[in-house]
Amino acid sequence: MAFTIAHIFEKSTNEAVSFDEFEGLMRQTQKQAFSLAYRLTGNMTEAEDLLQDAYIRAFRFFNRYDRSMPFASWLFRIVTNAHIDTVRRKTKLKISSLDQGGVDGTKTMEVEDSTSAPDAVLTNSSVNEYLQRALDSMNHEFKMAVILADVEGMAYEEIADIMRTSIGTVRSRIHRGRKHLKSHLLKSAPGLYERYCNELL
């Protein structure tokens, strides 16, 4: 059967009754989903936008949700896919005009110096900042695996299901992600690394 606009409209109308169920699931998962979205995007506004995008997609295809698996796992797969989609769009939109240079034809751009950031004052916000910077410098797949394991506290099997890969691959991604995080911190915030080492002793 051809998938037409009329078909999707009819389906949505038939499933209007499931809105209450969906709303209940939204209320249950929104906080947990926000943690994931926040760590993926690194900012509150973008995290909320990402969640809005993901919940609308989830609602539209709610009839395809397999109730034998946790709703959060299904939703997280949509959140991660939506995030990848957003990153792809942003990459496409990174356009800078070379015509708007200075009088002598040169152009200056502000580039963040991640090595010169002072780590003397280790407030919660600065810890968050270092962590986010380290996560953002990481391979996308490693970052996703580390966030799902450490922020969401998910088991490797669930992560493998969300990322559609094997448990062995998840194990390897988490390990390599954490190693990257450790070396990034040692380089950019040795004080913070030391503090955490001492706390763990």
> CB of residue 106 vs another protein: minimum separation in angstroms?
27
Minimum separation from the CB atom of position 200 to another protein (A): 5
- Shorter beta-carbon distance to another protein: residue 56 or 69: 56
- Nearest distance, CB of residue 116 and another protein, angstroms: 21
Judged by beta carbon, residue 101 or residue 153, the one nearer another protein is 153
Cβ distance to another protein smaller for residue 114 or 141: 141
Q: What is the DSSP string of the chain?
A: ----HHHHHHHHHHGGGGHHHHHHHHHHHHHHHHHHHHHHHSSHHHHHHHHHHHHHHHHHTGGG--TTS-HHHHHHHHHHHHHHHHHHHHHHH----SSS--TTS--------TTS---SS--HHHHHHHHHHHHHTS-HHHHHHHIIIIIS---HHHHHHHHTS-HHHHHHHHHHHHHHHHHHHHHH-HHHHHHHHHHH-
Question: Which CB sits closer to another protein, 107 or 183?
Answer: 183
Q: How far is the CB of 38 from another protein (least distance, A)?
A: 5
